[in-house]
Structure 1
């Protein structure tokens, strides 16, 4: 199904109008806002979970939350939509505070909202006072069951979205994962081993996730990986890997870096619920081209089977070449454009693109160029 994201004046983003679905690549020069684009939905998730103070802390504080090119009176606006439902957050910077208001729409009907000049909130026939918490969160407990059901997909999208970056490989190698009952991968990946154990031992719907990861590793590393098993010590879970041709297993500390990279990316993809979305920043790091291409095949199959949107911020020609037959799913962050991101098929003629490998065009700076300043 995908989703729609509109952003005005948030951090590095001046104006965003974006409707991704399936597996999509986001590329462009360093500093163009690729990671900020993906982190916008995480800001909304933190708002749902922790209130506005938690969301602002996640975004680096009020000093950096508003785009520097925005006029003083311009507001920050974030809109997340799925199907006929949408959730808009308005933010006005009044140092040292961020004044927030919200609107939740079900089709053409506003089912919840907040007066920007007060803490007064309405959720259909309910009136209440909210300080710092999300109106959307309150709406999901106060609205009639029929309304909640219609908004369930959008709320689930926002509350389960994860951006995976700065993964804690060293912690996994040296200390393993804390023993938890988690059923999704944390943003830093530290709970991966515990998560996999839970999936393997859990209900059939979760066991399927374990099999996706294990079988995916076999496909990414066909001459290396056979299986893994879990080891527990107190409140810690770690793993040992079984490799082809070796009589003894290899512990996590000694495992190849690329194997752990692929394991975490597969866990991230499998964590996304049906109809949800996940983002991975630079998934190519540490992987052989064969493993990258295989990972992309697995991601596309998963996206199609589970209606999951998978967003990949990348500089990799290998990743981009896997989009040669679907350049409309490549999006470019180029600061000179008024509205971002720009679909590659809007940037360049699709018939012309068909004659080239997208990775070669990116390497030659035909699109997403890192330009030198004029002398």
Structure 2
């Protein structure tokens, strides 16, 4: 995710003047006629060190890199045969059934079939769940100059809840015995609750993005903005996980064979890559690309005349302010509706 709520750059900044404040968004005041013109050595030598310093101090870059590693870890577990062990699962399950029952024995109910668990994979899931909690903490850390009661932090708090629920379920993976067993069904219910909270978190992230994104050309509800693609894929990822967990709770016999979650992990990886793109864009690493598809335009010299827009999003909204406004409104309404019987005539 990328945050665009930093201090504004002075409009009097001159062309060629370097930005020394690593927390101030870089505004490009020089126009380029083509990508060849923008990638001249004099421009690279001037901008690359500034962009590197900004990325080095950008908290979102650190959080997004950790999130990228997390999504890569999920994909490795999903598609690496050493972790999936589909062939060994079938062999082990068949062997257990053949050893336990003969031809005259009543067949097992499908919910009484054993669940194959790998201790090594379970430990990796626990490690990824811990990383997920660290990521949630990093995203809270990225919000500079924001109150702990700011509404933009509500999705981050929900993110901690879903991360904690996934850690809880991962700790119980080793206790699963049969498809319909107590621990197996409890894990399904915990993960369904986690996916529901995660879906609410993703919707909340879209709302906070609307509050905080920089109002300028090429940003906002447009595919030119990497953040737009990122939150679309992230929300789709959480929606697919929610559907998957509903299916597993309704049909527990599909546990281990339903691979819908793998598609969600692919979308999560794509979203993490676009969050990196968005952060690089905020640090001006893409100065050589056209502005809203057009060269010869300096983004720092664009003026929107037809509509007055806030440059750095909406002002902060604190949760406690909502309660204060409600109390003031109630007090004013009470004073304006004083009964006539309480008035004294002299």
TM bucket (normalised to shorter chain) is under 0.3
State the TM-score, normalized to the length of structure 2: 0.24
- The structure with the greater share of residues assigned to helix is 2
- The answer to which structure, 1 or 2, has the higher relative contact order (CA under 8 A, 6+ apart) is 2
- The structure with the greater share of residues assigned to strand is 1
State the TM-score, normalized to the length of structure 1: 0.23
